[in-house]
Amino acid sequence: MGFDSLVPRLIQAVIFDLDGLLLDSESAWDGGRRALVAEHGLEWPDGATEAMLGMSSPEWSRYVRDRLHVPLEPAEISERVVAHVLDAYAERLPLLPGAEEAVARIAERWPLALASSSNRPVIDRVMETSGWADRFRTWVSSEEVARGKPAPDVFLEAARRLGVYPGDAAGVEDSRNGILAARAAGLQRVIAVPNHEFPPGEEALRAADVVLGSLDELTPAAVEG
C-alpha cells in the first residue's frame, strides 16, 4: 500500500439536508398529513410520524394511502400536503437557530448542495425566500430519484450534480434516515446535528463521524475533522 493511499482525501463539497436541520419544518409536514387524515375521519396511529421521516414524496404519499387508508391517489395526497406546507411557509419561513450563519460559513469554504426529502416546489420556495439560491450550487428532491432516505440515492445525485465523487464530500444531517442515507452513499464524512423533536437514535448516531450539539458548532474544522 502506497503512502498516498493512507493520506485522507480532502473534502471537496458539503451536502446539507433541509427539513429538521436548517428548517423547523417537520411539524409543518406532519401537520399537513395529520389534517388530511383527520379530514377523512381517520385516526392518526402511533409511529406514523416517525415512519415517514426521510421518505420521498411518492413513498410517504403511498404510505398515507395504504397504511393510513386515506381514499385518495398518492399524487393528490402529495399535492394537498404540499399546499399546506407552502401556505405555512408563506406566513413565515421557519429557519432554525444558526441556520443562516452555518450555511454562510460553510459556503465560504466549499460548494454546497442540498439533498432533501421535500418536494421540489417546496425546496424552490425555500431557496427563493431564504436567498440561499446564491449559496447552494444545486438542490435535489428525493422525488427526483428512485428511492428516498435511508437509501443513498438523493446524496449520490447531489454529488453527481456538483461534479464530485461521493467519497470527497461531507454530509450534514439531523434524522435517522438521513444519517444512514449519507453513510450508505459513501460520503467521506457524515456530520450529525440531531433533531431534538425527532431524535435519530443511538444506532444512527453511531453511523455518523461526529455529532454536534447545534448548528453553531458546524464550522470548517468540524467538517474536516
Residue 17 falls in the annotated catalytic set = yes
Q: Before 150, cis peptide (omega within 30)?
A: yes
Q: pTM for the whole thing?
A: 0.85
pLDDT given for residue 96 in this prediction:
95
Long-range pairs for 156-160 at CB < 8 Å and ≥24 separation? 156/185, 157/115, 158/15, 158/113, 158/114, 158/115, 159/13, 159/15, 159/113, 159/185, 159/187
Query: What residues does 56 pair with on adjacent strands?
Result: none
Residue 30 falls in the annotated catalytic set = no
Domains of the chain: 3-24+94-224 (3.40.50.1000), 26-91 (1.10.150.240)
CA distances in angstroms from 103 to 34, 43, 96, 221, listed in the order given: 31, 39, 12, 14
DSSP-based three-state secondary structure for 68: coil
The catalytic residue among 4, 19, 24, 134 is: 19
Angle between helices 153-162 and 176-184 (to 10 degrees): 60
Enumerate residues 6+ apart whose C-beta is below 8 A from 126.
18, 23, 89, 93, 118, 132
- One digit per residue, pLDDT tens: the chain, 225 residues? 454 455 568 999 999 999 999 998 878 889 999 999 999 999 999 999 988 887 888 999 999 999 999 999 999 999 999 999 898 888 789 999 999 999 999 999 999 999 999 999 999 999 988 999 999 999 999 999 999 999 999 999 999 999 999 999 999 999 999 999 999 999 999 999 998 888 899 999 999 999 999 999 999 999 998
CA distances in angstroms from 209 to 78, 185, 196, 213, listed in the order given: 34, 14, 19, 14
